[in-house]
Structures are given as structure tokens and as C-alpha cells.
Structure 1
Amino acid sequence: MSALVNHVPRCDARDVDRAVRAAHAAQPAWAATPAAGRAAFLRRIGELFAERGEELAQTITDEVAKTITDAREEVFEHAAPAYRHAAAELLDASPAPLGAAPLPGDAVPLRRRGVIGMLTSHSFPAGIPSIAIAHALAAGEAVVWKPSRHAPASGLLVGELFAEAGLPDGVVSVLPGGEDVGIAIAEHRATATLVLDGAPAAGEPCWPAGLGRELERLARSRPRVVLLDADLDAAADCAARECFHSAGQARTSVQPIFVHERVHDAFAAKLRERAAALRIGAPGDARTQLGPLRDAATRACVIDDVDDAWTRGATVDQYGSDDALFYPATVLTGVTPDMRVVRSRTPGPIAALARLDSLDRLRA
């Protein structure tokens, strides 16, 4: 059942203009801050991520229905370390003192670009932005960031950590909002570089003119191939992890899986066993392995894609709850190229298996 998680402000193009102007004004002083000073800020941000990581993980779980185990992994193993790693890389890459002879293999000084616009999806609402922002800050850049419309509170909480660390005003701005905010950031004349995570297929319609179709093409299905000599247990473990992680909603989820016809049935049986063994439950329960989908629109999309596959001849095996926003772990066999689960990425816990008689057929 859906519930109100939070109230957040909704920014517009005027807020974007103010934020980009503030970033443009703040960036030269930030870039002029000695590397040791920028590294100290980065280390402090990483410490705050660790200190308030449980709060951030819970916010991610509440907003996007990621299991608390996955949310904690994102925060503590990816987001928090990103700032420490960027600080270390910054000091390693800093130019030698004036007059010092360069050593063989010295890093090339970082090239600064100015104001970076960043548009991110809901899949990893703290992890991927942190990796990008940490390295932008290390390089002396300023960032204007629009978090996913599905995870605005997570983005704002990350922004709180920047402020708590004492990051100068204007260096990073967090602007929750809709399509108009993303377009305004991307098309602002003072935005020097654009960082994109996600695509229109992820429900993030915020791309500037001309980029949408290409991004959608790049974000389509991420296939895997199981060959005749594969370790089927290892392959099934990998497939289950990639297809059912975050209820299949992460951008790293895989569809379809091309399986050599001579091992197809054995592999499918092993994958069904793993789907049936998943523990279904509330995302806030640390024991949960498969939680609900993000919202009703996502669930409707998954239902439509699976119905399309079934109508076109696929066999559907499902395991788990089909109540409220839950969708069962699903293994599709007999998948063909005309099905939507092959032509685009279905945002749900779907493993779509297609028979493969040779690599030549796959290349075709």
C-alpha cells in the first residue's frame, strides 16, 4: 500500500537559473582552494555519510522501495567511500610544488570545466550521484544536481550533508523537480558539462532536445549470454542477482538472457529454483530479498510487458506475492525478438530467456 513519505519543494526553471549563476560565481574560489583543503572537505563529507548513513538508507528505502539491505550497501559501500577515494586521488594527482622536478608517471593536473549539470535516476539515488559529485568537487568544479523525481528526499538529504560539512554556498545545489528542471539545467548556457544517469525509459523525461532518442537506445536491454561450457550454477546465481536485485528496477538489471539451446532447460530450472527461494517482504526488513515495486505505474508497465510476452508465446513461471505493489519473481522462457522484454528493459523482477543455437545467430 502506498503512503506519503515526505513533502519536498518543487523547483522550476527560475530556480535553475539562480543555482547555475550561483555555481558559476562560486566555482573560481572553489577551484582556487588548495588541493589539501578540498580533500579535507571531501573526507568530512564521507564521514558524515557514515554517521548519517542509516538515515539516508532508510530514506532511500521509503522512497524507491529498495530493500534496506541494498540501500545500506549503496550508502556504506559506494556513496560514503566515494568521497574518501576522491580525496585520496586528488592528493595523488596534485601538481608537484613549484620548481620541483616532475617524476616519471606523475599524474596530469586535473582539467577544470566549470559548472556541471547532473541529472540522475532513482536506481542508485545516493551512490551514483556521490561518485560523480565527489570527483567533480575534487577537480574544483561546481555542480547543479537534479535528483530523480522518485527520490527527491534522498537527494535533499545528501545536500544537507554537504551543508553540514561546510561546503561553500553555490558549490553544490540540489534542485528537486520535474521535466522542466532537467531541461533547464541541460540547456542553460552556463552549464559546461552534463552528467546523465538513466534514460527516458527509466521514467525520467528530462533530457534536452536531440538526446532523448540516443539515450533511450543506449539504455535498452543489457543482454547476457550463457554458453555451452558455462558453469550453470554460477551463471544462475549471477542471473538471479542481476535480474531480481532491487526488484529488477535498477539500471544494472539484465534482460534478456541468451542461453545455448543444449543447456537452456537445465539453466532455466536452476534459475527457477533461485527465484522460488527468494524471501519476499517489506523493504525495511533486513531479511527481505525481493521487495515491492516503486509505484503503481511501474507495476502496470511490468504487467503489460509480461502479458505481451505471454500473448506472443512465452512461458511464464512466477514465484512470490502479487499483492499491492509487489510483483512476483518471473522467469520467461520461449522469448523471441518481437517481445517488449527483448526490445526494451522491463523495470521489474523479470528473467527473460531466449534459446541460442550459435553465436552467429546472436550477431545477426
Structure 2
Amino acid sequence: MTTESPTEQSSQADLPLVAHWIDGTQRPGRSGRTAPVYDPALGVVTKTVSLADRAEVDEAVASAAKAFPAWRDMSITKRQQIMFRFRELLNERKGDLAEILTSEHGKVLSDALGEITRGLEVVELATGFPHLIKGEFSQQVSTGVDVYSTKSPLGVVGIISPFNFPAMVPMWFFPIALAVGNTVVLKPSEKDPSSAMFLADLLREAGLPDGVFTVLHGDKEAVDGLLEHPDVKSISFVGSTPIAQYIYETAARHGKRVQALGGAKNHMLVLPDADLDLVADSAINAGFGSAGERCMAISVVVAVEPVADELIDKIRSRMAGLTIGDGRRSCDMGPLVTRQHRDKVASYIDVALEDGADVVVDGRGIEVDGDASGFWLGPTLIDRVPLTSRVYTEEIFGPVLSVVRVASYEEGVALINAGAFGNGTAIFTNDGGAARRFQNEIEVGMIGINVPIPVPVAYYSFGGFKDSIFGSSKAYGLQGFDFFTREKAITSRWLDPSHGGINLGFPQN
């Protein structure tokens, strides 16, 4: 919770309040605690959001638990029709949702629309769920005995989503969870909570019964309440590595299934034969899109010499043409989400200078097409970053692109594999043999070959290696359906009049 002065508290009391969504309707919080929600491009508080206490967590989970039996028992056909209707409504109104995303996160409208489109891919996958939850059947495994399996929902499932993709990341999880018969409690980021409310209202309009989808706003108290609640059967989370580890350990200790996707430090390996114009364009797109607030952002360019100087010139010239400003205008990149986050990211530029790196382009103090009070930091390019510098070792999560020079392909691969993270990586080359070798040797979960942001399409699964994931379950795709269902194996015999009577042993034939 952010502490404000009495004057600020008084002025915020007059602002709109983002309430919880429980039993199919908005419900203001009763805890007495709220947090400010900023417009990052203006640097002002535009609304406040309720922060739940443990009693409100209990209320939200109880509502979802009450709705579960009827939703679980609803026919597959009816659940599928609701998912189709939700898909159509979201596609029709994605422009409205994009405006909400831009007003609270700051990303430009085109980027917001791209986020929604990637979320829609998972919604569309979920509409085909009947095929993906079919069981198996083996007839006559022993005389008169059949064995078959069914897939059943878990019950109430919890989703804890981050600020950087307030629409897409929840849609990585809840369409699948709902389609297969679970009820969902979503805890969105308190920094940009309104997207979750928009999605909840669309689900209601699509015909989702009350209580099946719940939005519970809050901070650590709400998170801990979900992690520890005995009626919450699973937790899905995307965020920084320290929090992902905490989520995983706490939820697992309380007997829950966990999907916990953590942070990243993604590298782009550039071989001397690569098309450097393509590389420069890709580095700009992958490094500075969404102001670098992506777990799949490229934050380190690993240049195999002798291409570094030429590549840096190409990147720098492209950076000079970028427009930074209010995402509702015709800009390339918007602000960072909060003043505190902007200041933290900017502090790494000082770290780079102290560590002897070469700051080629400094994003501080840039001219912007927006209000001077916005949370601005321009694209930043840093060359010759020491591998011991925090600029290299830590996830910055902002528009800071580092360049590291290596002498060979082997040195580049060894550098990437030595890192603590293993979320995403890319190689740029025109050598098919090198690309094939790279995909086999690299210890990273998502790999791009001449593709800078290798986020898998919905029918594959999203997730990395090492400190980028805790537990083994990835998001969406087939792994998502497995995560949100549990299998029952049934051994069945229907006796006919000619059965042979009592037999206390195992059937033998």
C-alpha cells in the first residue's frame, strides 16, 4: 500500500474506485485499504483500487467454491458456447480494452492491441477444449474388465498476474481453467487493475454464471490469503524470480499445484554472417517494445566479433528516430508503469558508468511527446558491459539494451548457458548448421532463430529453464490443460449371468 499525505488522501477519496468482482457484480472493498492507480503518461493518480484483507479473500473463495459444482456439471456444449461468445465479445471490443491498458500501464495503443491479440489466441485454443480433455479406453484388459480414464477439473483455482501484461497473462490461464470446468479467482496487479474488471464483465455478458470468475484486488495480504487458503487447489503466477520462488514454495507447502514463471535475462547471439539490418531492427523491437517491460524482452546483444561496432551504429541510428510519449498519440514507446520503477531502471545507467561500460545512448532527460510529469525513460544502449556488472547479471525490466562482445560462437553459447535465467534467447545467422547446433546446445526454454521474441503460439506452451520457472508446469498449450485437470482411472466390470462366482485373487485371464 502506498503511503500518501493527508491532502493526497483527501483528493484520492474523490476518485473512482476499482472494486472487487464477486458473485458477478462489482463489490467495493471493506478492508479500508486502497492503493493509487496512476496514468503513467501524465504522472497523476486517476483512480484508486480496493485492497482485500483475509476476510475478503475468504468471501471471494467461498463464492467461487459455491459456484463450482454447477459449473463443473454444466455440459461441455454449453461451456464451449460461452467461451465462443466471450471470444466474439472480446474481439469486438478489443479497442476499448486497449485504451484501458494504455491509460494504466502506459504502453502504446498498437502494443496494447498486440497484447490482446496474443491473449485471444489462448481463448481460441480454449474453445476447442473438448478434444483436449478426452480420456482413454482399453477394452477387455482382463476377461470382462475394461479400464478407462477421465479428466476432471480441480475446483477453485487462483491466478496472480503481473503489471506488464494485465490482459494477456490472465488470458494465458483463465480461458483454459474455465473451459475445463474450474472456477477462477484472479488477483491482478494493483498497478493496473481495470483490465481484469473489463474481462470479468465480458465473461458475464457471454453467459458465465455468477461466481465462476472472481476478481480480487490486493497486495501481499491477498496473495498470501490465496496461497494458504485450503479451498484453492492451484496457483498460476507470472512475475519476478524472487516472488515466483516465494509463490511456488508457499503454495506447494499448502498442498497446491503451482505454475510459477519467473524473471529473465534474454540474450540475442549475433553471428558474423547475420543480416545486421535485420538484427538492428529486431534489437530495437525486442529491447524497447512495451518500454522493455517484458519477460521476453531482449536485454543483451551478444555480438561475435568483428560485427559489434557496425551493429551498434545501426542500432543507434534507429534509436534516434524513435518517438517517446503518450501511448494514445502516435508514438513508438510509452512511459514506464510507475515513478519508482522508472527511477530504479534509470539507476542502472549510473551503475554502468561506475562499472566502466560505455553508455552509447542515455535515455535520461529525453524530449517526449507527452506531459512532463510522466514516468519517462528513453531507450538506452550500453556497450562493453562487464559480465560482473549488475547491469548484466540482474533483470532490469526496462528500455536498457546491453551489448557484450565475444570472440566466437562457442564463447557466446557458454556465456548464455552460464546465466541464472533460461527464459528466452535468439540467434541471428544465415548458417542453418549453426542455428541447428544452437537450438540443441542452448539451455533455454524458448528459442528464436532470426526471431527476436520467441513467444510460442497458443497450442505450444510458454515457459523457461533454471530460475525462470519453478516447478515443471508451463503456461497454456497442452501443459495448460494438463495443469487444470486431474485424471481418474476407472477399472470396470459388468457381470453377466454366467460369471464364475467368488474369486479373492487378481483376475488372471
TM-score, normalised with respect to structure 1: 0.88
Amino acid at match of 1:91: P
Residue 65 of structure 2, aligned match among 24, 31, 50:
24
For 2:260 and 2:177, how far apart are their aligned partners in 1?
25
Residue 300 of structure 1, aligned match among 343, 368, 373:
343
**What's the C-alpha RMSD, in Å, of the aligned pairs?**
2.8
The Cα shift of 1:156 comes to 1.6
Amino acid at match of 2:301: I
The Cα shift of 1:245 comes to 0.3
Amino acid at match of 2:126: A
For 1:284 and 1:244, how far apart are their aligned partners in 2?
17
For 1:186 and 1:210, how far apart are their aligned partners in 2?
6
- The equivalent of 1:103 in structure 2 is none
The Cα shift of 1:110 comes to 4.0
Q: Specify which structure has the higher proportion of helix.
A: 1
1:257-301 CA distances to partner (integer Å, 9 max, x unpaired)?
21112111111111112211212221111x211111111101111
Larger Rg: 2
- The equivalent of 1:309 in structure 2 is 352
| 8 A contact 2:228–2:250 mirrored in 1 | no
Amino acid at match of 1:50: N
Pair 1:131-2:181 in alignment: no
Pair 1:321-2:367 in alignment: yes
Structure 1 residues 55 and 248: CA distance shift in structure 2, 3 A: same
Structure 1 residues 47 and 64: CA distance shift in structure 2, 3 A: same
Pair 1:270-2:311 in alignment: no
SS in 2 for 1:255: strand
- The equivalent of 2:82 in structure 1 is 41
- The equivalent of 1:330 in structure 2 is 380
- The equivalent of 2:123 in structure 1 is 83
Structure 1 residues 206 and 152: CA distance shift in structure 2, 3 A: farther
For these two proteins, the number of residue pairs brought into alignment is: 350
- Compare 35-44 and 246-255 and name the one that shifted more: 246-255
The Cα shift of 1:193 comes to 1.2
SS in 1 for 2:381: strand
The Cα shift of 1:109 comes to 5.5
1:29-88 CA distances to partner (integer Å, 9 max, x unpaired)?
21211111111111111122123322211111010101111112222x22344323311x
| 8 A contact 1:13–1:184 mirrored in 2 | yes
The Cα shift of 1:117 comes to 0.8
SS in 2 for 1:170: coil
SS in 2 for 1:257: strand
TM-score, normalised with respect to structure 2: 0.64
- The equivalent of 2:98 in structure 1 is 57
Structure 2 unaligned spans of 5+: 1-41, 140-148, 252-258, 419-509
Structure 1 residues 205 and 180: CA distance shift in structure 2, 3 A: farther
The Cα shift of 1:120 comes to 0.5
| 8 A contact 1:182–1:206 mirrored in 2 | no
| 8 A contact 2:187–2:217 mirrored in 1 | yes
- The equivalent of 1:3 in structure 2 is 44
For 1:348 and 1:321, how far apart are their aligned partners in 2?
18
SS in 1 for 2:235: strand
Structure 1 unaligned spans of 5+: 101-107
Residue 93 of structure 1, aligned match among 129, 132, 143:
132
| 8 A contact 1:249–1:349 mirrored in 2 | yes
For 1:79 and 1:47, how far apart are their aligned partners in 2?
13
SS in 2 for 1:5: strand
